[in-house]
A and B are shown apart, each in its own frame.
Chain A
Amino acid sequence: MSAPITSTRFKQNAREALADATLQQALKFVEVNFISRRREAAERLPEFEALRDAARDIKDHTLAHLDLYLEAYERRVQAAGGEVHFALTAEEARDIVLAICRQAGAKTVTKGKSMVSEEIGLNAHLAANGVTPIETDLGEYLIQIRGEMPSHIIAPAVHLTKDQIEADFRRVHAHLAPDRSLVEPTTMLTEARNVLRERFLAADVGITGANFLVAETGTSIIVTNEGNGDLTQTLPKVHIVLATIEKLVPTLEDATQLLRVLARSATGQEISVYSTFSTGPRRASDPDGPAEYHVVILDNGRSAMLGGAFQDMLRCIRCGACMNHCPIYHAVGGHAYGWVYPGPMGAVLTPSLIGIEEAGHLPNASTFCGRCEEVCPVRIPLPRMMRAWREREFERHLSPATVRSGLAFWAYFATRPRLYGAATAMAAFALGLIGRLRGRFRWLPLAQGWTRHRDFPAPEGSTFQAQWRRRKR
């Protein structure tokens, strides 16, 4: 079983999210903090726009030669004493991870933050097979104890308020003295660290994601701010890196270029607190490190995106800037999107991975305001690709019948200018007459989606074109 999907319920999810006062309170953080921090970081770096171009080009080049770089990467990992496992599907990836855990006789595994792990529903699978997964990123730890999914790709618990987090700690950490203050984020982090410390030491396997896989050296790179990733991958005797095919970059130089736009776009940091490069298991001269190093590289539908309308989506470096700047995300949060990847990047990626039948709402729930594309560090044309999904839905008759028939009715007139002129003249006259007194309508048939929430202005009474032609006569 992969992560549960509720994307078909997007409208209902959104309605519930809008009515959830606590969630709305929590979401203000995204709008206020992420945006200004990114802007300030971009403004501090004169070459930021040029770096975005370079980042785009690096990813485009890699995707154009992905087969070569995957093979080169595999050889380098093997040369460093590690092992690469290719998984075509989520199920294969889960089975590979479980097999490695079993081989290691693992009872508990610690985990660094990994969206791929969410994508394949890894925690549920491990738990069902007698291996206890323990999330060590603070946000992931919180949503794990709440039994939730992440609502944001870099800030998984951004949908929670501090009050909710404190209540969860007091519920789960039974040893907490009632007078122990948890008001500040740092005190919460300390509390989580105290509990996690023992888990780190006891874990048999550590699983991390990867921000980049470097073909030149066989290196996997993770960036974190809490240092949990380092403990996850250094202390246990087995380290599993869980990544997808598009994480490849050719060289260390390329990776460092991408790191320069990643943190700035994500949190406005110049660089994350920890950027950790791992190449193979512990060498004889290393003071510490795992005895085994495995990389599981998942496809799960991505190779089918290569060469098609959605290839550019594979440039994504998972910074979250698109959702941080999205008015829809600000309004409804990440859970409403109904699967692992929310916001504009999810609206494009999710249909590719789980099918447009399941995810049809997501590319439609956009005003095409273009703010996502404006901030994307690798310049993914997100609105254009959302439109490409709408085209596929239209071609396959998946868009709602009311939309299709309304569009057909309108198109009939819009492609016949004389008829259109006559029809709009009548409409303007009739609506203008009815609405003249108030100047607007509080209710209109067939437009209740509009008039339930706002007034609709009455037309002035005669179309511009009719007036213009009268004047010219």
Chain B
Amino acid sequence: MLAAETQSKRGARVGLFVTCLVDLIRPSVGFAAVKLLEDAGCTVEVPRQTCCGQPAFNSGDRATARAIAEQVIAAFEPYDYVVAPSGSCAGMVKVHYPELFHSDPDWLPRVDRFCAKTFELVSFLIDVLDVTDLAASFFGIVTYHDACSGLRELGIRAQPRRLLGRVKGLNLAEMRDADVCCGFGGTFCVKYPEISNAIVAKKADHIAATGAGTLLAGDLGCLMNMAGKLQRAGYVVRARHVAEVLAGMTDQPAIGESRRAAAKE
């Protein structure tokens, strides 16, 4: 029964919520997500989209957040599932969209349906599609940072580690305080740059102390923050979205890395 159910899910039509940061800064994460979903038997489509609205929501601008949420819900209505390569954006949808509509009985059923079919990429692969096999290989030591929203809003902790365990050649070295915030916090990092810097400096030290050559995480915002700090601090650690490694798509330079440096590898 379960196998048949999973089988049908594997034929699902998935709307990829690519997230604004991946769209603008690092499209290769989006293509890695597409590959992982297609390899698992899904049909992937990408409706026109902008952002989940979290910057407005966390800045106290509910009206804008709500307008964007309505736009997202409408755009993704046709799909069986909505999948985002980000715990933060998926958390915004699943946990916070209902707060935006809680006093609106016209919208609530639509919102609830939408939340129920929205997932973060890695947890979708494990919890919904029950993916166990990966064709990927990655030779080296990596360390994994648990981004806060995915971890605490969606309970994503075991899933990425389980899939990373299937990647040939990959060695996971856990860092100290992997579950502690990297100091990104969306607009926080530019509103309180000194505090954000103190937090990410500590994080960079913990990452470097593992001896890993590559840092992985499931959220591009946090990855940009950590990669930028590692680079500024002079640590030779590359940063990649976990989907890139799981999809075996690590030919692109790492986050913030020049082509020349990547070629030298």
Write the residues of chain A forming the contact surface with B, with a CB cutoff of 8 angstroms: 11, 14-15, 18, 327-328, 330-332, 364-371, 373-374, 384, 387, 389-395, 399, 403, 407, 410-411, 413-418, 420-421, 424, 427-428, 436-440, 442, 447, 449-450, 452-460, 462-465, 467-468
Among B50, B185, B229, B256, point to the contact of A369 (Cβ < 8 A).
B185
What A residues does B190 contact at CB under 8 A?
A: 447, 449-450
Q: Knowing A391-B62, A464-B18 touch, does A458 contact B256 (C-beta < 8 A)?
A: yes
> CA A436 – CA B253 in complex, angstroms?
11
Within 8 A of A (CB), among B26-79: 26-28, 30-31, 46, 48-51, 53, 55-62, 64, 67-68, 71, 75
Whether the Cβ atoms of B48 and A457 lie closer than 8 Å is: no
Among B46, B55, B200, B227, point to the contact of A468 (Cβ < 8 A).
B46
Interface centre among B148, B189, B227 (most CB of A within 10 A): B148
Whether the Cβ atoms of A439 and B58 lie closer than 8 Å is: no
Among B23, B25, B225, point to the contact of A465 (Cβ < 8 A).
B23
What B residues does A418 contact at CB under 8 A?
A: 48
> CA A447 – CA B25 in complex, angstroms?
15
Q: Knowing A453-B197, A464-B18 touch, does A364 contact B191 (C-beta < 8 A)?
A: yes
> CA A468 – CA B23 in complex, angstroms?
10
What B residues does A459 contact at CB under 8 A?
A: 24-26
> CA A341 – CA B225 in complex, angstroms?
30
> CA A462 – CA B18 in complex, angstroms?
14
Whether the Cβ atoms of A436 and B259 lie closer than 8 Å is: yes
> Looking across the interface, which residue of chain A has its beta carbon closest to that of B49?
A417
Among A371, A437, A439, A464, point to the contact of B30 (Cβ < 8 A).
A464
Whether the Cβ atoms of A14 and B64 lie closer than 8 Å is: no
What B residues does A416 contact at CB under 8 A?
A: 50
Whether the Cβ atoms of A439 and B184 lie closer than 8 Å is: no
What A residues does B196 contact at CB under 8 A?
A: 367, 453
Whether the Cβ atoms of A399 and B229 lie closer than 8 Å is: no
> Looking across the interface, which residue of chain B has its beta carbon closest to that of A465?
B23
What A residues does B251 contact at CB under 8 A?
A: none
Whether the Cβ atoms of B152 and A464 lie closer than 8 Å is: no
Q: Knowing A367-B181, A449-B193, A468-B30 touch, does A457 contact B227 (C-beta < 8 A)?
A: yes
At the interface, yes or no: B123 with Cβ under 8 Å from chain A?
Answer: no
Shortest CB-to-CB span from A15 to chain B, Å, is: 6
> Looking across the interface, which residue of chain A has its beta carbon closest to that of B226?
A454
What B residues does A437 contact at CB under 8 A?
A: 258, 260
Q: Knowing A366-B188, A394-B61 touch, does A327 contact B199 (C-beta < 8 A)?
A: yes
Q: Knowing A332-B195, A391-B60 touch, does A414 contact B30 (C-beta < 8 A)?
A: no
Interface centre among B55, B184, B196 (most CB of A within 10 A): B196
Shortest CB-to-CB span from A81 to chain B, Å, is: 49
> CA A464 – CA B30 in complex, angstroms?
7
Write the residues of chain B forming the contact surface with A, with a CB cutoff of 8 angstroms: 18, 20, 22-28, 30-31, 46, 48-51, 53, 55-62, 64, 67-68, 71, 75, 99, 148-149, 152-153, 180-181, 183-200, 224-225, 227-229, 231-232, 252-253, 255-262
Shortest CB-to-CB span from B217 to chain A, Å, is: 14
What A residues does B227 contact at CB under 8 A?
A: 455, 457
Q: Knowing A366-B185, A413-B50, A449-B190 touch, does A463 contact B229 (C-beta < 8 A)?
A: no
> Looking across the interface, which residue of chain A has its beta carbon closest to that of B33?
A464
List the count of A-B residue pairs having beta carbons below 8 Å apart. 210
Whether the Cβ atoms of A460 and B193 lie closer than 8 Å is: no
Q: Knowing A18-B195, A463-B24 touch, does A390 contact B58 (C-beta < 8 A)?
A: yes
> CA A362 – CA B190 in complex, angstroms?
15
> Looking across the interface, which residue of chain B has its beta carbon closest to that of A452?
B193
> Looking across the interface, which residue of chain B has its beta carbon closest to that of A325?
B180
Whether the Cβ atoms of A367 and B184 lie closer than 8 Å is: yes
Is chain A's binding surface mostly helix, strand, loop or mixed? helix
> Looking across the interface, which residue of chain A has its beta carbon closest to that of B57?
A387
What B residues does A365 contact at CB under 8 A?
A: 188, 192, 195
What are 26 A-B contacts defined by CB distance under 8 Å? A11-B192, A327-B180, A328-B195, A332-B198, A364-B188, A367-B181, A367-B184, A367-B186, A407-B55, A411-B64, A414-B51, A415-B50, A437-B260, A439-B253, A439-B258, A450-B189, A450-B190, A452-B193, A453-B200, A453-B229, A454-B197, A459-B26, A462-B27, A464-B22, A464-B30, A467-B31
Whether the Cβ atoms of A454 and B225 lie closer than 8 Å is: yes
> CA A347 – CA B57 in complex, angstroms?
18
What A residues does B48 contact at CB under 8 A?
A: 417-418, 421, 465
Q: Knowing A370-B153, A390-B58 touch, does A403 contact B189 (C-beta < 8 A)?
A: no
Whether the Cβ atoms of B49 and A465 lie closer than 8 Å is: yes
Q: Knowing A390-B59, A403-B187, A454-B229 touch, does A374 contact B181 (C-beta < 8 A)?
A: no
Shortest CB-to-CB span from A364 to chain B, Å, is: 6
Q: Which 6 A-B pairs have the closest CB atoms?
A: A367-B185, A454-B228, A394-B60, A390-B60, A449-B190, A457-B256
> Looking across the interface, which residue of chain A has its beta carbon closest to that of B188?
A367
Whether the Cβ atoms of A414 and B50 lie closer than 8 Å is: yes
> CA A462 – CA B27 in complex, angstroms?
8
Shortest CB-to-CB span from A5 to chain B, Å, is: 19
Shortest CB-to-CB span from A315 to chain B, Å, is: 19
Whether the Cβ atoms of B152 and A370 lie closer than 8 Å is: yes
Shortest CB-to-CB span from B65 to chain A, Å, is: 9
Q: 6 extra interchain contacts, Cβ-Cβ under 8 A, other than A414-B53, A449-B193?
A: A367-B148, A367-B196, A368-B186, A394-B62, A417-B50, A457-B224
> CA A414 – CA B26 in complex, angstroms?
18
